[in-house]
Amino acid sequence: MKIAVCLKHVVTRDAAVRVDETRTWIRDRDASFELNEPDAYALEEALRLKEKQGGEVIAVSAGPARVTQALREALARGADRAIHVNGDALARADASVVGKALAAALKDEGVDLVLTGLQSDDQGFAQVGVILAEALGLSHATIVMEVQVTAGGLRVRRELEGGWFQWVAMPLPALLTIQSGINQLRYATLKGIMAAKKKEIRSVAPPAGLASSLTIVSLALPSKSKQTVLIEGGPAQAAAELVRRLREEARVL
C-alpha cells in the first residue's frame, strides 16, 4: 500500500507569539516551530498500516524552507521519503491554496491512501484534507478514529457528536482526516534519525496561478482582563446564584 501523509509545520503551542508589522500575521522569525500534533497522529497511523500491509509512506508538506524540519522528523519516525512543496507564500496561504498545491505534488504518485490530521494547530480550518480529496478526485472520510483494510477497500470509524460513532465502508484510493488520539505516538530513535539523513526529500514548486480565496484583514492577540463580582445574599441564595453564573455565563458547568 502506497500512503501519503500531509504534514504542517506550525508555531509551537506554548510559544509567545507577536503580531507582525502588517498586523495580518505573526512575527514568525521570532517564533519556534514544531510538527502539527494532529498530523503526527496521521503519520503514526500511516506507519502502522505500512507495518501491517507493507508498502511505502511518503511525507508531504507545503511551505518555506523550514518545513523540511517536519519532514526530517517524519523520516526519522519511519517514513520512506518526502516531498517538499517549496514556497514562502504557502506559510500564510488558505486551505484552498494549500490543498491544491499538495494535490499537484501528489497527482502523479499513484497513492492508494492519503492521510491528513483533522486540522492544524494554528488556523484550525479543518478544510485542507477535504479540498485535497476533491482536487485528487478521491473518496474521503473525516474525523476518523479507526482504520481497517478490507478486501474491497477500507472500513473506517468516524467520530460524531454526542459520543456517537459511524462505520463507513469506502473504496481505494481514498483520503482520510485523522482525529487526534487514534493511536499512541512513537518517537524518533537514534537509528531513525541517522537513517533519515540518507532519505530523499524532493523539492517541487507549487503550481502557478494559485489565488487565495481568504484575506486576513487584521490580526490581534486576545485581550486579557479580569473582574471581581461580589455575590450577595445568604449562603443558599449565594450558592444558587454562583451555580447559575457558572452555568449560564462562564459555561464551565
Q: What is the pLDDT of residues 19-69, one digit of tens each?
A: 888 887 778 777 888 999 999 999 999 999 999 999 999 999 999 999 999
Render pLDDT for 227-236 as a digit per residue (tens, 0 to 9): 788 888 889 9
User: Cα torsion for 121, 88, 29, 124, to the nearest 10°?
Assistant: -10
State whether residue 247 is helix, strand or coil: helix
In a domain, 11, yes or no: yes
Same domain, 176 and 245: no
Q: How far apart are CA 243 and CA 229, in angstroms?
A: 14
Percent of the chain with pLDDT over 70: 100
**The three cell numbers locating residue 131:** 479540498
Give the total number of structural domains in the chain.
2
pLDDT of residue 167: 96
In a domain, 214, yes or no: no
- Tell whether the model's pLDDT for residue 155 goes beyond 90: yes
pLDDT of residue 212: 83
What one-letter code names the amino acid at 246?
Answer: L
Select the more confidently predicted residue: 154 or 224. Answer: 154
In a domain, 211, yes or no: no
Q: How far apart are CA 86 and CA 84, in angstroms?
A: 6
Q: Which pTM was predicted?
A: 0.83
In a domain, 218, yes or no: no
In a domain, 210, yes or no: no
Same domain, 136 and 228: no
Taking alpha carbons only, the member of 163, 117, 116, 165 closest to residue 136 is: 116
pLDDT of residue 142: 95
Taken in order 91, 92, 97, 99, the sign of the CA dihedral is positive
Q: How far apart are CA 173 and CA 111, in angstroms?
A: 7
Same domain, 81 and 146: yes
Q: Across all residues in the chain, what is the average pLDDT? A: 91
